[in-house]
Structure 1
Amino acid sequence: MKHLFSALFLSAASILPLSAQQTQKPVLHGRNWMAITGKPLAATAGAMTFQKGGNAVDAACAMLAATCTMWDTLSWGGETQVLIYNPKTKKVLAINAMGVAPTGATADFFKNKGYNFPPEYGALAATTPGTPGGLIYMLINYGTLSLEQVLAPAMEMAAGYPIEAQAANSMERGKELIKQWPYSKKVFLTHPGEKREAPEAGEIFVQKDLLTTLTKMVAAEKTALKQGKNRKQALMAAYDRFYKGDIAKEFVRGCQEQGGLITMEDLAKWKPIEEEPLTVNYKGIDVYKLQQWTQGPVMLQALNILENFDLKSMGYNSPKYIHTLYQAMNLSFADRDFYYGDPATTPKGPIKGLLSKEYAKQRAGLIQYDKNNPDIGPGNPYPFEGKTNPYLNLLKQRGFDQDTTKRNFAPKHDLGQLNQMPDDLYQDRLWRGTTSIEAADKEGWVVSVTPSGGWLPACIAGETGIGMSQRMQSFVLDSTLNPFNLVAPGKRPRVTLSPSLALKNGRPFLSSAVQGGDTQDQNLLQFFLNVTEFGMNVQQASEAANINTNQLWLSLGGTKTEDRKPKPGQILLNSNTSTATREELKKMGYFLSFSDRTSGPINAIYFDWTHGSLWGGSSNHGEDYGIGW
């Protein structure tokens, strides 16, 4: 492989590593437990659950319930994806609580309505709800407390809590959409007809319908226990009431009334799945991600590519490092955009080939040392698992040639505006949020969650108080974009949601997650490298300046193809990036934009086996907050 860089590069780092700087938030220290999530009140719910004697799974479920009750970034009708380290088996397991496309959700159905992608908002954007089932599954198999105990903080909040400015202002900004949905209007616009119709920050926000729904679930559990049922059977009674009982009937009625497709059969047939996570080893550290129905393998592919280079010698955020990182991410995202999709349906993606070290070495060899390559497309991983690629014709239709020496054009589907900076709407879609949850305890349980769906402005399903998911928009309707992620009833969309776990010497090393749409695995990759290559502690690494690439297909937002197209060469840098680094990157064909905070809202836990303690990190990017003991 060619030597990657020439002496023309400047060697000085663009930003002083945070290992030499004071962080804006303190690192958290704990001996017994750690609870971190995207909202301070929800972190308190996790702490309350630990104080009840719950383990990290119980606490994660309590934080999940609380964040769903606080709207803004997710609701109860959304989806949950989880990695858990089980200290009893000493293994990492994955829980897939992603909803599926409902009956009638076909490519032709949406195309006939004039869409290039399923819609962003409303009942037609909804997959079946996954979070309630995922939460109950976690409790049954790995938790210790009852549903009543775990939901207690969320139920108290549903009865009325002082709403924070971020959610209240989101309701106000989205009120024109909200007014189209009668059940959402009733919940969110508490001052109808006034200049400000949404709640004010600090106002006691009451959700009577949601409280009724949660009360029904707890009542089902309590009734089962009174009838002599065991803990698992009681929790399943709550599950069945949500997915098969009166809650399900009202959810379906409210969904269909507003034009949605979800049926009672769709809810009854759906189940959370426990699956084997995917993993690669990076310099002695085993990194785990969910399967390719998420974008998680992007980080694994990028690590495999970057393992071919001496990143530490380049220097943190030097031009060499930024360029190498950007190119590795572009190569990985090009594969994501074509090959990732629900592995429980056919066709199944070539994940073995995509994660092979040999394939990564081949991809690394495509990196040009002196300039950005705007024409990077999907590779051909099939030979690396002993198969022939059945989609070479699709790749040619899309405008890619496997002989990269002949490629001197931008692929027709991927031709972006190379000299146009991202607008606010594009950036919103790139970063479109969720939340993240991190929990760990002294028994060794570790939980990393990236739940989402049902964010504001949310369409509420009938009198349930539950906002429906908007995840249908992550499907494609055109197989030339991605034959593995073509919408179909019963199929899970390929989502951006991507928790991380890493083990070193067989023991937990790092647990991390972040919100932010297509930037999630970009920021988690750099967080991991900040710790492993540049010696930052978990808080320093969570605040450190990252870069983001826009050279990818957006997973969220917009119903037209042009809304989602990659923007080759566009890069987000920290505002403190030096003039010399900026100029060097411009020479390599990059189009620069800047932000004061570029870490992403990372939440993470580091396991200090030397001292027997937990270190928590929660970035200074947003409202994320942690509590340790």
Structure 2
Amino acid sequence: MKKPLLTLCLLSCLSAVTVAQDRLSGKSFATRSVVMGQRGMACTSHPLSTQAAIDVLRNGGNAIDAAIAANAMEGVVEPHVNGIGGDLFAIFWDAKTKKLYGLNASGRSPYSLPLAEFQKRGLKHIPSDGPLPVSVPGCVDGWFELHKRFGKTPMPKILSHAIRYAREGYPVHDEAAFYWPSMITRFGKYPNVRETYAPGGAAPKRGDIFRNPALANTLEKIATGGRDAFYKGDIARTIDAFMKKAGGYLSAKDLADHTSEWVEPVSTKYRGYDVWELPPNSQGIAVLQMLNLLEPYDFSKVAWGSPEHIHQFVEAKKLAFEDRAKYYADPAFAKIPVQELISKAYAAERRTLINPDRAASRVEAGNPALRDGDTIYLTVADEEGNMVSLIQSNYRGFGSGMVPDGLGFMLQDRGELYSLTEGQNNTYAPHKRPFQTIIPAFVTKDGQPFMSFGVMGGSFQPLGHVQILMNIIDFGMNPQEAGDAPRIDHQGSSEPTGEKMTDAGMITLEAGYPYETIRDLMKKGHKVGYGMGGYGGYQAIMYDAKNKVYHGATESRKDGQAAGF
């Protein structure tokens, strides 16, 4: 009798140990706990970038200083998704004025490249690499605009972390190591690519130490010479000369004439929360349109991940994205009815097109009444209560393949996003900003900051934003659970580049959704598949005003870190 009793005891102990190793609270899919801090918080997609931001905060810098330090570091350690050759958008909560400020730091197309040049070449779409998709990089000017208005730490100190790691090197993390070889394969035919990104003859592997001394030199010139060192000095002249050799059109004049623009964020109220995005040329208002379409549905009676949840979400996306394809563009070149598009009345009109039992296979853009007149996301908060939501990108991965001589960075290919069809809002024109996918977001409640967040990932970003908000507001998740929850994507809507929706498109789901859900979606006429990757990268800081505590969350699908103190 003793042996069976001993066995039973051992099994009981083993069972207790197994149970004890499960998460003690929260959703089963949560990867980690929320990170908390009182005096500061930084959430980025790379630990070294987060640590740069935290170091700036600990040494007296504010959220803007720390965000610039983190962004500069990101360009060093994650060149496969961002860098100073790309564009930037930001939303800043200023604790002193208790107001949100928006910055559009996106660049324009070359003066000397006309639409007729693409037509002469017989192109239907602008290519994704080479000299043709290159537009003015707005990132560096964005840093200095933010810093001039709100920063307080000297720029040489802010950029010192990125300069040091570019010069001395850093171990390449998993995600970068995964994408790096494909970049060499794709862009290796262009000048300076292999010398800059594969100096040993091959792409660096996981754990290899990568150095970029040319980028360190460029950042040093920017740190000491300011934004004019990039847009009017030796760097601009080097870019001009290189682009001429490469058969491109971006010139020193394009760089010298570049300016960022301070813009008013726009918002809609979703179940008592004010959700803020930036207006076009970014795609941020697609988030607001989707939320307006979804708000009347009572998700307290709909389970997360159910066929009803996914169907309503996807159908709302289809409607918003048709307007996105038709209207979103550079407002200096097109009349965009922003307030009408994000109005509750317009959403009510469009919502009648959603069939609760059937997937729409064809959707047209609406007609609101006109009135006259690849990517990184990071968020930082400081002890004074300032919070910044910042997103920056080269567009497709490393960018265009154009690496100017001796500068250590690649120019973006954002110009791929213009349409070449005449007469559209987003039709290519010289000195015009292209439609932009990158969008930072912010949420306030009762006039106070609630959350700074974003989800990078091209056209997925509005879908990512809405899913995060629904997960928190409708389904009661904390900010880390909201990011860890399996995601929903949908492809097949019309695009600002001219492609048209021709059928119901394809829903792709991350692992974690039951077969019954997929089966019921298919019964409604949806095509459904499982997707690998392409679900974006998320960071968030939520503010607990009662306890004055920041709650940080980071993307479990990437190599990021949330840290506070």
Q: Structure 2 length normalisation: TM-score?
A: 0.91
Partner amino acid for 1:550? Answer: Q
User: Equivalents in 1 of 2:371, 2:221: separation in Å?
Assistant: 52
Shift of 1:596: 7.2
Instruction: Choose from 470, 483, 487 the match for 2:428.
Output: 487
Residue 301 of structure 1: how far off its partner (Å): 0.5
> 1:555 and 1:189, CA in 2 relative to 1: closer, same or farther beyond 3 A?
farther
Aligned-CA RMSD value: 2.0
Distance 1:566 1:439 in 2: 41
Give 1:619 shift.
2.5
Query: 1:474, CA displacement in angstroms?
Result: 0.8
Matches within 5 A, 1:16-55: 20-21=27-28, 23-55=30-62
Q: Secondary structure at the match of 2:486?
A: coil
Which residue, out of 215, 218, 223, partners 1:213?
A: 218
Report the alpha carbon displacement of residue 378 of structure 1 after superposing the two structures with TM: 0.2
Structure 1 segments, 4+ long, off by >4 Å, are 385-388, 564-567, 595-599
| 1:57 is aligned to 2:64 | yes
CA distance in structure 1 between the partners assigned to 2:386 and 2:55 by the alignment = 17
Which residue number corresponds to residue 366 of structure 1? Answer: 353
Could you tell me which residue of structure 2 aligns to residue 577 of structure 1?
513
**Structure 1: unaligned runs, 5 residues or longer:** 1-17, 221-237, 389-432
Corresponding position of 2:9: none
Q: 1:76 aligns with which of 78, 84, 92?
A: 84
Asked if the contact 1:508–1:607 (Cα under 8 Å) also holds between the matched residues in 2, the reply is yes
Partner of 1:102: 110
Structure 1 residue 603 displacement after superposition: 0.7
For 1:231, the equivalent position in structure 2 comes to: none
Instruction: Identify the residue that residue 593 of structure 1 maps to in structure 2.
Output: 529
Q: Which residue of 2 aligns with 1:224?
A: none
Larger CA deviation: 42-51 vs 547-556:
547-556
- Secondary structure of the structure 2 residue equivalent to 1:129: coil
Distance in 2 separating the partners of 1:515 and 1:358: 29
**Residue 215 of structure 1: SS of its match in structure 2?**
helix
The answer on 1:529 being equivalent to 2:470 is yes
How far off its partner does 1:566 sit? 6.2
The residue matched to 2:513 in structure 1 has which SS?
Answer: coil
Counterpart AA for 1:381: P
Match of 1:322 among 310, 314, 317: 310
The reply on whether 1:242 has 2:239 as its aligned counterpart is no
Structure 1 position 439 matched with structure 2 position 380:
yes
Q: How does 1:333-412 map to 2 (within 5 A)?
A: 333-343=321-331, 345-382=332-369, 385=370
Aligned match of 2:437: 496
Which residue is equivalent to 2:3? none
**Within 5 Å, which residues of 2 pair with 1:47-446?**
47-70=54-77, 71-159=79-167, 160-192=169-201, 197-220=202-225, 238-343=226-331, 345-382=332-369, 385=370, 433-446=374-387
Q: The residue matched to 2:235 in structure 1 has which SS? A: helix
Tell me how far 1:500 sits from its aligned partner.
0.6
Q: Show CA shifts across 1:335-357 (max 9, x none).
A: 001111111x2222111211111
In 1, are the aligned partners of 2:29 and 2:484 still within 8 Å (CA)? no
Shift of 1:555: 6.4
* Partner amino acid, structure 1, of 2:68: C
Paired letter, 1:611: N
Question: Are 1:69 and 1:76, in contact at CA under 8 Å, matched by a contact in 2?
Answer: no
Q: Secondary structure at the match of 2:540?
A: strand
CA contact (8 A) 1:105 1:487 kept: no
3-state secondary structure, aligned to 1:54: coil
Contact 1:573 1:598 in 2 (8 A): no
Q: How far is the alpha carbon of 1:576 from its aligned partner?
A: 2.4
CA distance in 2, matches of 1:208, 1:292: 37
> CA separation in 1, counterparts of 2:514 and 2:197?
45
Q: Percent identity?
A: 30
Greater CA drift, 565-574 or 53-62 = 565-574
- Call closer, same or farther: CA 1:565–1:334 in 2, change over 3 Å: closer
C-alpha contact (below 8 Å) 1:547/1:598 kept by paired residues: no
Shift of 1:23: 1.4
**Which residue of 511, 536, 546 corresponds with 2:487?**
546
- How many angstroms apart in 2 are the aligned matches of 1:517 and 1:443? 33
Structure 1: how far apart are the matches of 2:188 and 2:482?
42
Deviations along 1:419-448, one digit per CA (max 9) or x if unpaired, are xxxxxxxxxxxxxx2111111112111111
Verify the 8 A CA contact 2:101 2:264 in the aligned structure 1. yes
1:584 deviates by 1.1
Partners of 2:426 and 2:496 within 8 A in 1: no
Rate the CA distance shift 1:124–1:320 in 2: closer, same or farther, 3 A: same
Partner letter of residue 456 of structure 1? Answer: F
* Secondary structure, aligned partner of 1:240: helix
CA contact (8 A) 1:542 1:599 kept: no
Q: Is the 8 A contact 2:442 2:452 kept in 1?
A: yes
CA deviation after TM superposition for structure 1 residue 284, in Å: 1.9
Partner Cα distance (2:465, 2:224) in 1: 40
Q: CA deviation at 1:74?
A: 1.1
Match in the other structure for 2:22: none
TM-score of the aligned structures, taking structure 1 as reference length:
0.82
SS of the residue 2:435 aligns to = coil
Identify which range, 148-157 or 450-459, moves more after superposition: 450-459
- State which of 444, 469, 485 in structure 1 corresponds to 2:412: 469
For 1:158 and 1:440, locate their aligned partners in 2 and report how far apart those are by CA, in whole Å.
Answer: 25
Q: CA deviation at 1:138?
A: 0.9
Report the residue type matching 1:200 in the other structure.
K
Q: Report SS of the residue matched to 1:182.
A: coil
1:98–1:492 CA contact under 8 A, matched in 2: yes
